[in-house]
Structure 1
Amino acid sequence: MDNKEFGLKIRTLREEKGITREDFCGDETELSVRQLARIESGESKPTFTKITFIASGLGMSLYELMPDYVDLPEEYLALKYDVLRTPTYEENKKMDWRDKILSEIYDRFYDELPEEEQLAVDTIQSFFDVHDTSEAIYGKEILKDYISQISHKEKYGINELLMSRLFLEHARFIDLETSPKEKFVFDHLLETLPGQVELVHPKDLFILRDVLFVLVGVAGAKEEYEHISAVIQTIEQIMNRTQDYQKLPILKMICWKYEISVNNNRENASQFYEQAVLAAQMIGDSNLLERIEGEWKGDSQRNAQ
């Protein structure tokens, strides 16, 4: 069954039940009216999550609705997770590797992916582009279309986490005090994301961890300190649960910045600096060690003024 046939089947079943698209999608946290329209017209191929939601709304089982559903290619998933899991720390060689993997995903898999997975790829590409260029022009259409899916949800899937990261990369360049809509979303993420540690699948905890790293960085830059301690504790919890300490140096750097900026405790900050240095030495990353030492020197000079 191709996309147009499947879309027509959904539309026919929905209309036979007398359900409007608006009623079918409800609050649009799982499926927006625009997404449903694209699926029904055959313009997009829905993912397993969307198909399951649609089947439930039609009062059918998944395989009654689409018995020939095929899972995502394992090779694509491996490449996607490699890109997300491997830190670059702004090293040109690592960034070139990441861009090469993303190009392979676009060339080999993108056109055959369902719309929600294409959205994931586009979102990943966009938040890397915003971060690397410091230009908030990338991913604007994604946020425009899907911001409601991260501004009210209490439980986040992978795509909502990725879109949250894209929003936070954009938030670096937004005056939140004069942007009430963006301030509402930012506050919602500050309050909601730490609690996702109990809701996210264990294999995806590293995605949540990395979103929290961006969140705490933006919160610190905006001097939004109220929830930073909870975010730091959640990152530590994820590291301990997954036994993945590759970003421990960055966490210790965040801790010293918090001690300097919020607690004005130079002694504690110095201890966290030493822990950051030791952690960077243990993972053998000389470029990260150089960055940590440079950050400490800058923070120390500013604190002494």
Structure 2
Amino acid sequence: MDNKEFGKRVRSLRESKGITRESMCGDETEFSIRQLARIESGESKPTFTKITFIATGLGMSLYELMPDYVDLPEDYLNLKYDILRTPTYGENKKIDWRDQILTEIYDNYYDDLPEEEQLAVDTIQSFFDVHDTSEAIYGKEILEEYFFQISHKDAYSINELLMIRLFLEHARMTELSKFPKENAVFQHLLKTLPCQVNVVRPKDLFILRDVLFVMVGVAGSKEQNDCIPAFIQTIEQIMNRTQDYQKLPILKMISWKYKLYVDKNKKDAEQLYEAAKLSAGMIGDPNLLEKIENEWESDSKSS
């Protein structure tokens, strides 16, 4: 069943049951009227989540609604996870590799992906664009159109975590006190993100970990330091649970910054710096080790 056939089927079933788009979508926190309209017109391909939502709204089982649903291509998922798992630390070769993978996704998979997954790809691309250029123009349309749906939730899907990461990168460059709506979302995330460790599947915890790293940086830049120990503790919990210590040097680095700038404890900060160097050496990434050393040199002079 192609997009147009599925859309016609959904609209026909909805209208035959006397269900309006407004009543099906409710407060639009899960599914917007605009998204439903695009699916019904055949303009967008629905994800498993959206198909399930529609089926529930129509009082049908998933396979009554769409028996020939096919999951996301495994090769695409492998590429997506490779990008998300591999830090670049500003190294040009790794950035070039990441950009090549994104190009492959856009060239070979994007057009056949459901709308929600296309949104995930665009969100990943926008995050890297904002991060690499420090320009908040990237991904602005994504946040304006979709972020309302997740800004009031207490539990997030993986693709929603990616959008939160994009939002935080924008927040880093925004004076939140001048934007009450954005600031309210930021305060909400400060409370809810650490709790996601009990929601996210073990294989996806590294995505939550990376969002928490971004949150720590943004919270520090906004001088909201009280929450940082809880985020550090949650990141450490994730590392111990997954036995993935690839970013342990970064955890040690943000810990020394907290000790140095908030606790004013240079002795403990220096011990954490030595631990960061040791773990970077064990990982065998000379580029990361150099960045750790340069960061400490800068911090120790300015403290």
2:112 aligned partner:
112
Q: Distance in 1 between matches of 2:125 and 2:138?
A: 9
1:261 matches 2:261? yes
Counterpart residue identity of residue 74, structure 2? E
1:132 maps to 132
Q: Deviations over 1:204-241 (max 9, x none)?
A: 11110001110101111111112111111110010000
Instruction: Name the aligned partner's letter for residue 257 of structure 2.
Output: K
Q: Distance in 1 between matches of 2:260 and 2:223?
A: 12
User: What is the alpha-carbon distance in structure 2 between the residues aligned to residue 27 and residue 192 of structure 1?
Assistant: 21
CA-CA distance at 1:27 after TM superposition = 2.3
Match of 1:246 in 2: 246
CA contact (8 A) 1:151 1:184 kept: no
2:58 counterpart of 1:66: no
Q: In the TM superposition, what is the alpha-carbon distance from 1:84 to its structure 2 partner?
A: 0.4
For 1:88, what is the secondary structure of its paired residue? coil
Q: Following superposition, which runs of at least 4 residues in structure 1 exceed 4 angstroms of deviation?
A: none
User: How far 1:163 sits from its partner (Å)?
Assistant: 0.3
Question: 1:126-205 counterparts in 2 under 5 A?
Answer: 126-205=126-205
User: Residue 231 of structure 2 aligns with which residue?
Assistant: 231
Q: Which deviations, in whole Å up to 9, do the C-alpha atoms of 1:146-165 show, x marking residues without a partner?
A: 11122101110011100000
Aligned partner letter, 1:287: N
- Gapped runs of 5+ residues in structure 2? none
Q: Does the Cα contact within 8 Å between 1:149 and 1:160 map onto a contact in 2?
A: no
CA displacement, residues 79-101 of structure 1 (integer Å, 9 cap, x when unaligned): 00000001100100000000000
**Residue in structure 2 matched with residue 101 of structure 1 by the alignment:** 101
1:142-196 deviation per Cα after TM superposition (whole angstroms, max 9, x unaligned)? 0001111221011100111000000011111100111111111111111101000
Report the AA paired with residue 194 of structure 2.
P
One-letter code aligned to 2:17: K
Secondary structure (helix, strand or coil) at the match of 2:150 reads helix
Question: Which AA in structure 1 matches 2:271?
Answer: Q
Aligned AA (2:192): T
Give the Cα–Cα distance (whole angstroms) in 2 for the partners of residues 175 and 22 of structure 1.
Answer: 35
C-alpha contact 1:10 1:40 (8 A) present in aligned 2: yes
2:208 corresponds to 1:208: yes
8 A contact 1:126–1:166 mirrored in 2: yes
1:122 alignment counterpart: 122
Task: Give the share of equivalent positions with the same residue, in percent.
Answer: 76
Query: How much has 1:5 moved relative to structure 2?
Result: 1.1
CA distance in 2, matches of 1:122, 1:279: 33
Residues in 2 aligned to 1:189 and 1:146: alpha-carbon distance in whole angstroms: 16
- What residue in structure 2 maps to residue 273 of structure 1? 273
Paired residues for 1:41-60 under 5 Å: 41-60=41-60
d(CA) in 1 for partners of 2:44, 2:159: 16
Residues of 1 paired with 2:167 and 2:10: CA distance?
32
1:91 correspondence with 2:91:
yes
Q: CA deviation at 1:29?
A: 2.3
User: 3-state DSSP class of the match of 1:151?
Assistant: coil
Please tell me the residue identity of whatever aligns with 1:213: F
Give the C-alpha shift of residue 18 in structure 1: 1.9
